[in-house]
């Protein structure tokens, strides 16, 4: 993750009206960048990637947070108000062009699937409902699998 991406994520964070909302904006913006980075055919060194993200998280919002906790946040119902927030989406679209907004449902679905495989818990709930309401690949505005890679 380069310094431009870090600054862009922090710009999205500053669009939150409260500290709590800013942290939520940070988590989602960062998590979407992380998940987008996984969409490659190249071999990934997760230990190195996670270390880089965790260092940035610590410097940006302090201890007690990690890329794991960011991804957990993004697989729960608390992510829905963020992704439905016009302020977040406007800020994210303006500051994070590396992640096309139309890929967000796919990325959240990917993260939710991994969470299900790891925890073996039912993934039904507000996030899955939100994902299911989004256009499917090939519909206008929806990403094709090749758009994400």
Q: What is the pLDDT of residues 15-52, one digit of tens each?
A: 999 999 999 999 999 999 999 999 989 999 999 999 99
The residue behind tokens 């993750």 is 1
Say how far apart CA 93 and CA 98 lie, in whole Å.
9
- Give me the half-sphere count of Cα atoms (radius 13 Å) on the Cβ side of residue 144: 4
Neighbouring residues of 112: CB distance < 8 A, sequence distance ≥ 6: 75, 123, 127, 128, 131
* Coil/strand/helix, residue 142: coil
- Distance between CA atoms of residues 78 and 80, nearest Å: 6
- pLDDT, tens only, 74-118: 999 999 999 999 999 999 999 999 999 999 999 999 999 888 777
Number of domains in the chain: 1
Q: What angle do CA 52, 6, 87 make, to 5 degrees?
A: 130
Residue numbers of the domain that contains 18: 3-148
Instruction: Return the H-helix or E-strand segment holding 19.
Output: helix 19-37
What pLDDT is attached to residue 27? 97
Query: pLDDT value at position 113?
Result: 87
Residue 144 has pLDDT above 50, yes or no: no
| d(C-alpha 86, C-alpha 14), whole Å | 14
Contact residues for 49 (Cβ-Cβ < 8 A; gap 6+): 34, 37
Distance CA 133, CA 119 (A): 24
What average pLDDT does the segment 133-144 reach? 66
């Amino acid at each position: 993750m380069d310094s431009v991406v870090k600054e862009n994520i922090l710009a999205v964070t500053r669009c939150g009206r409260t500290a709590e909302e800013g942290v939520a904006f940070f988590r989602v913006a960062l998590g979407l960048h992380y998940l987008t980075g996984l969409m490659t055919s190249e071999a990934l060194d997760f230990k190195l990637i996670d270390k880089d993200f965790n260092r940035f998280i610590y410097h940006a919002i302090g201890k007690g947070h990690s890329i794991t906790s960011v991804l957990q946040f993004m697989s729960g119902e608390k992510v829905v108000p963020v992704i439905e927030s016009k302020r977040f989406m406007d800020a994210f679209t303006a500051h994070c062009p590396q992640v096309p907004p139309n890929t967000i449902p796919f990325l959240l679905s990917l993260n939710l699937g991994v969470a299900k495989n790891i925890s073996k818990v039912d993934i039904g709930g507000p996030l899955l409902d939100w994902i299911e309401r989004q256009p499917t690949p090939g519909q206008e505005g929806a990403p094709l699998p090749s758009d994400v890679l």
